[in-house]
């Protein structure tokens, strides 16, 4: 009797990072979309960071969560063209503090059988949802760290 291989689950991942001030209070968020609907979402507060650091943390948190949920095929979308192009190797990482974050993304990416990265407009509905999650998190931490 032949075993039928189990098909890999595919996920769309939408990420966003935000900082109020640059640097300033920062947050990350991601949204998972599977079969046309939101399958999961999460957000978190970083403290004081730059917007690009927050964008990278959103990608790292999303990839970590996707792997933990058993996903090995994914398409990741971000409104940060800089982060996407750095991950794809199209732009050099010029800021030393971003290098380790990119390295972390690449290590996580290596655990997927298929993973693509694409920049999309911030008006995309799922990016807008991730942005709203970031803003809600920042609002909840308005008194933490620097003034918002």
What is the β-pairing status of strands 10-21 and 24-34? antiparallel
Residue 40 lies in a domain: yes
Asked whether residue 54 carries a pLDDT value surpassing 60, the answer given is yes
Contact 133, 29 (CB under 8 A): yes
Residue 146 lies in a domain: no
Residue 136 lies in a domain: yes
Residue 81 belongs to a domain with what CATH number? 3.30.420.10
Residue 21 lies in a domain: yes
Which domain range does residue 110 map to? Answer: 10-140
Asked whether residue 6 carries a pLDDT value surpassing 80, the answer given is no
Query: pLDDT value at position 147?
Result: 45
Compute φ and ψ for 36, nearest 5 degrees: 85, 0
Residue 120 lies in a domain: yes
Residue 4 lies in a domain: no
- The mean predicted confidence, pLDDT, of the chain is 94
Global confidence as pTM: 0.92
Query: pLDDT value at position 143?
Result: 77
Residue 33 lies in a domain: yes
Q: What is the mean pLDDT of residues 103-112?
A: 99
Residue % of the chain over a pLDDT of 90: 89
Residue 1 lies in a domain: no
Contact 72, 13 (CB under 8 A): no
Q: Which long-range contacts (CB under 8 A, 24 or more apart) does 118-124 make?
A: 118/75, 118/76, 118/77, 118/78, 118/84, 119/77, 119/78, 119/79, 119/80, 119/81, 119/84, 119/85, 120/14, 120/77, 120/78, 120/79, 121/79, 122/16, 122/79, 124/14, 124/77, 124/79
Number of domain units in the chain: 1
């Amino acid at each position: 009797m032949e075993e039928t291989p189990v098909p890999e689950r595919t996920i769309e991942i939408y990420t966003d990072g935000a900082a109020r001030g640059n640097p300033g209070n920062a947050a990350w968020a991601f949204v998972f979309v599977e079969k046309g609907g939101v399958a999961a979402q999460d957000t978190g507060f970083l403290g004081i960071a730059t917007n690009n650091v927050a964008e990278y943390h959103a990608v790292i948190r999303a990839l970590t969560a996707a792997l933990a949920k058993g996903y090995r095929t994914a398409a990741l979308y971000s409104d940060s063209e800089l982060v996407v192009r750095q991950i794809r190797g199209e732009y050099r990482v010029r800021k030393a503090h971003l290098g380790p974050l990119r390295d972390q993304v690449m290590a996580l990416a290596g655990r997927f059988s298929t993973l693509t990265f694409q920049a999309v407009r911030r008006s995309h509905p799922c990016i807008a949802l991730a942005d709203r999650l970031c803003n809600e998190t920042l609002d909840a931490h308005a008194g933490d760290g620097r003034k918002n």
